[in-house]
Amino acid sequence: MPLETTTVNLPKAEIPRTWYNVLPDLPDPLEPYLTPAGAPVKPEELSAIFPPTLIEQELSPRPRFDIPEPVLEALSRYRPTPLVRAVGMEKALGVSSKIWYKNESVSPSGSHKTNTALAQAYFNKAAGITRLATETGAGQWGTALSIAGRAFGLDIRVYMVRISLEQKPYRRTIMNLMGAEVLSSPSDLTVAGRRAKAADPDALGTLGLAISEAVEDAAGRADTNYSLGSVLNHVLLHQTVIGQEIKSQLKAAGVAPDYLIACHGGGSNFGGMAAPFVPEIKDGAKITLIAAEPESCPSLTRGKFAHDYGDVAGLTPLLPMYTLGKDFQPPAIHAGGLRYHGASPIVSALVKSGLVKPEAIGSPELFRYASLFARTEFIIPAPESAHALAAACMKALELEAAGTPGNIVFVLSGHGLLDLAAYEDFINSYWAGSPWAFAATVQGRARRADRNCPDRRVRRVADRAHATRRPDAYDALRDTEEAESGRA
Ligand SMILES: Cc1ncc(COP(=O)(O)O)c(C=O)c1O
């Protein structure tokens, strides 16, 4: 197979020069952000924590925004990022669908978060701000903003969710190396943090609480603004470089996508991928957009659509979004970047209008597919990104069983080289000694789920596993297969 059919690298000259604003193209206008009294938020009410340019980008119906030259220069250090065909994984799955991944893990922070961090740091610096306060869940966003702070000369303070800091101490090392200050959240430095600690001295922290701490910090100082790595419209706007590049790369490869998949925490990598495809989908293009979220924090699949606070303390405006409630305490899953009670207003609007299909992914199947990807594509995915890749694999197997292979693209939003504790847990708890058992199981499933499979009983289990996406159905399938291969 010629190399150019497995990796599409765009020349530097084709880096997108503008950000695409999906707001005017949404099927229904976005509902306004509200104050606690229920009035629409006015732009000037956001100016205590955001610079004017970002407020304009947040609310404007302008179809496109130019990317300033210094931001373009900084982005071009690692963009355009490659679009790669996961040939090894396709083979291991035994599928004839083509699976492509957009590799955002090549950014200096190891994830897509750098795309908006650079833009936010630049616009804050241009507005005369010298210091930014932020939160981080997985540590990827804090790392990205620390790098961006270094690039544009800003001091950075990061409130890092306590459980993530304990799981990933080396994230703090990188942030410190870049000159950023990192605090475990809940901290003693804010009212929100002290309250949370008083209520529960062992609190693990949540993204919502860390946001409260950072907003409180920024609102209390004239030299400081708040910076958010997801959820808001301007963040998704900056991430549209992802979807715009995917479009150009698919065109260069002569591929028409059937499924576009990304994981969903607050919605920035998903929104950045999906938004540029919205106009053509509205015009009838047969592309399915899938947002993959964790079963344990299912804001899009199980949340309700309502105006809710973006943080625990209720310091942010009320955002129109799918939410599990600001006080929802997600369990301490390894995908810390997906432990958020809400969802981006833009993605929520797309889900509500039926343009985006959310899917919840369970942990056991997640790490099985993540390890398959690592052993066939030789990149260890971030646990967050593994939600997208697991959804892509399951879609490929489902299409195989139905005899309708297609083109599947997913966003590898980050690498998992600082998430090895998660992989160690997986090896200890699920792998149980047989390195190839999982690949063999998946291959076996693909083979046996084939339409012509004579064994109806195995097909029934496979179909049920596909239909329910439940880990226990998957386990039932594996047990069936193991019993079968033992008999063979
Ligand atoms: C690698 C990676 N992917 C995805 C996410 C989820 O964020 P979002 O939904 O904003 O893309 C995170 C968040 O920290 C992340 O670190």
Average pLDDT, the chain: 88
Give the chain's domain count. 3
Name the more confident of 463 and 311. 311
- What is the position in ligand 1's atom list of the atom closest to the CA of 141? 14
Query: Residue 87 has what pLDDT?
Result: 96
Written as one letter, the residue type at 61 is: P
Query: Residue 327 has what pLDDT?
Result: 87
How far apart are alpha carbons 179 and 155 in whole angstroms? 8
How many whole angstroms from 338 Cα to the centroid of ligand 1?
6
What residues does ligand 1 touch, defined as CB less than 6 Å away? 111, 137-138, 140-141, 230, 263-270, 337-338, 382, 384-385, 413-414
Query: Residue 5 has what pLDDT?
Result: 65
Q: Which helix (H) or strand (E) holds 408?
A: strand 407-412
Q: In this model, does residue 344 exceed pLDDT 60?
A: yes
How many whole angstroms from 6 Cα to the centroid of ligand 1?
25
How many whole angstroms from 242 Cα to the centroid of ligand 1?
13
Domain boundary among 213, 232, 251: 232
Say yes or no: 207 and 124 in one domain: yes
Q: In this model, does residue 61 exceed pLDDT 60?
A: yes
- Give the residue numbers spanning the domain of 95: 3-14+77-110+235-412
Domain boundary among 182, 207, 232: 232
Average pLDDT over residues 338-347: 93
88-139 per-position pLDDT tens digit: 999 999 999 999 999 999 999 999 999 999 999 999 999 999 999 999 988 9
The verdict on residue 461 lying in a domain is yes
Residue 139 near residue 160, CB atoms below 8 Å: yes
What is the residue whose two structure tokens read 């943080």?
311
What percentage of the chain reaches a pLDDT higher than 90?
76
Domain boundary among 232, 252, 286: 232
CATH of the domain at 131: 3.40.50.1100
Q: Tell the residue nearest (CA) to atom 4 of ligand 1.
A: 384
Number of neighbours of residue 48 by Cβ within 10 angstroms: 13
Question: For residue 241, what are the contacts with CB-CB under 8 A and spacing of at least 6?
Answer: 15, 16, 19, 67, 75, 79, 115, 272
Name the pTM for this structure.
0.88
Q: In this model, does residue 30 exceed pLDDT 60?
A: yes
Peptide bond into 257 cis (omega under 30): no
